[in-house]
């Protein structure tokens, strides 16, 4: 885009002729997840990662869940430790929970906790305020502002320069559609809330330039023709496909879970070809404690997103933590 001189810019603003696309400034955010995994050993590497992110000074960062491994104890103390580390982010930090924090806490190595009780603890601890985490806070919309969805404090939404961002509490372990009646009932309630929040995000983005969605789970996009293998994600995939196709503008889906850094086009249209307007970013995780910086150019209506892996020198050549 051709730049405007300062005098011409001021004159254009005064005349009310400057469009929102001219005013939109490029910015970046950082995406991380599935870390710190093997604790307490991983705290050192996670601290190095946070310091690296602070040096970059993104507009904000997002942690897409799994703040510990599935075999690490789901104790209040372990949750509190990560919350304190989240507080060392200089810029705003948004967090959405993963399955290791609650759905898998019934395992013996995780402490044999009640997953529903651990979910309540995560909500009360990490979402005690309406703003983001981090030293510098950012205002967030919460789905819990609607009395119908009062429990879902973790589903949040915000905007920057014409781009809408939203978190969805979609987690691994088949989205908690598993085990027993309590888990199934929890899934049904949260799944309905997620679908409503997803619809609201697309509705808000209708007048925006692009939409970015964050969730923890890898919803098995590649099993699109085998819904019985990913039944806990089927509704999410169907909603994403139909709404993204109708939306037409750029959509970025950010998730973790599989610990493989990649950028691709995961959603297929009815003709069997990828939906061109949808990208997927899967972040580093587990023993690879690195981040991804996402550059956003709101004025680029076709390709607003570009990606830069942020490798942390102190965390190179780590062994994989199971």
pLDDT tens column, 16-27: 333 344 568 999
| Strands 278-282, 262-264: pairing kind | antiparallel
In this prediction, residue 190 carries a pLDDT of 98
- pLDDT digits 0-9 by tens, 230-289: 589 999 999 999 999 999 999 999 999 999 999 999 998 888 899 999 999 999 999 999
In this prediction, residue 224 carries a pLDDT of 55
In this prediction, residue 256 carries a pLDDT of 97
Handedness of CA 152, 98, 252, 269 (dihedral sign): negative
- Identify the CATH homologous superfamily for domain 23-315: Metallo-dependent phosphatases (3.60.21.10)
4, 148, 299 from 10: Cα distances, Å: 9, 46, 19
The tokens of 198 are what?
A: 């997803």
Report the distance separating Cα 280 and Cα 274, nearest Å. Answer: 11
Q: Phi and psi at residue 38, in whole multiples of 5°?
A: -80, 110
Query: Residue 98: pLDDT band by 50, 70, 90 thresholds?
Result: very high
Report the distance separating Cα 304 and Cα 199, nearest Å. Answer: 22
Quote the Cα angle for 179-181-182, to 5°. Answer: 90
In this prediction, residue 225 carries a pLDDT of 53
Query: Residue 318: pLDDT band by 50, 70, 90 thresholds?
Result: low
Only one residue has tokens 């810019």, namely 9
**162: three-class secondary structure by DSSP:** coil
Q: Name the residue ranges covered by the structural domains of the chain.
A: 23-315
| For range 218-222, the mean pLDDT | 86
- pLDDT digits 0-9 by tens, 120-129: 999 999 999 9
**Contact present, 267 and 284 (Cβ < 8 Å):** no
The tokens of 241 are what?
A: 């496909």
Report the distance separating Cα 118 and Cα 123, nearest Å. Answer: 9
The tokens of 321 are what?
A: 């933590």
- Give every CB contact of residue 291 below 8 A, 6+ residues apart in sequence: 30, 31, 32, 49, 52, 53, 61, 283, 284, 309, 310, 312
pLDDT at position 109 over 60: yes
Please provide the DSSP assignment of 76-117 as one string: HHHHHHHHHHHTT-SS-EEE---GGGTTTTTSTTTT---HHH
Q: Which helix (H) or strand (E) holds 185?
A: helix 181-205
The tokens of 181 are what?
A: 């009646």
The pTM assigned to this predicted structure is 0.90
- Give every CB contact of residue 66 below 8 A, 6+ residues apart in sequence: 33, 34, 35, 37, 98, 99, 100, 101, 172, 216, 256, 257, 285
Of the given ranges (7-16, 19-28, 260-269, 297-306), which has the lowest mean pLDDT? 7-16
In this prediction, residue 24 carries a pLDDT of 82
In this prediction, residue 267 carries a pLDDT of 94
């Amino acid at each position: 885009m051709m730049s405007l001189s300062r005098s011409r810019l001021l004159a254009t603003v005064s005349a009310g002729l400057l469009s929102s696309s001219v005013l939109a400034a490029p910015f970046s955010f950082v995406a991380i997840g599935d870390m710190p995994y093997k604790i307490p050993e991983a705290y050192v590497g996670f601290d190095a990662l946070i310091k690296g992110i602070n040096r970059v000074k993104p507009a904000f960062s997002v942690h897409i869940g799994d703040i510990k491994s599935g075999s690490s104890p789901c104790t209040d103390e372990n949750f509190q430790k990560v919350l304190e580390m989240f507080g060392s982010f200089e810029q705003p930090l948004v967090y959405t929970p993963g399955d290791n924090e609650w759905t898998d806490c019934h395992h013996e190595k995780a402490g044999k906790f009640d997953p529903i009780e651990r979910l309540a603890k995560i909500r009360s601890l990490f979402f005690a305020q309406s703003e983001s985490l981090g030293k510098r806070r950012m205002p967030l919309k919460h789905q819990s502002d609607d009395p119908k969805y009062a429990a879902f404090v973790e589903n949040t939404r915000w905007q920057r320069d014409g781009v809408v961002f939203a978190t969805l509490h979609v987690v691994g372990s088949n989205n908690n559609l598993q085990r027993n009646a309590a888990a199934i009932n929890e899934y049904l309630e949260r799944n309905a809330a997620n679908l409503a929040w997803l619809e609201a995000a697309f509705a808000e983005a209708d007048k925006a330039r692009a939409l970015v969605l964050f969730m923890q789970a890898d919803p098995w996009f590649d099993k699109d023709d085998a819904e019985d293998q990913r039944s806990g994600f089927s509704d999410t995939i169907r909603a994403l496909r139909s709404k993204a196709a109708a939306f037409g503008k750029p959509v970025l889906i950010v998730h973790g879970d599989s610990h493989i850094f990649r950028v691709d086009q995961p959603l297929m249209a009815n003709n069997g070809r990828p939906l061109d307007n949808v990208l997927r970013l899967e972040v580093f995780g587990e023993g690879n404690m690195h981040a991804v910086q996402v550059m956003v150019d709101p004025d680029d209506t076709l390709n607003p997103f570009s990606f830069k892996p942020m490798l942390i020198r102190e965390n190179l050549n780590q062994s994989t933590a199971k």
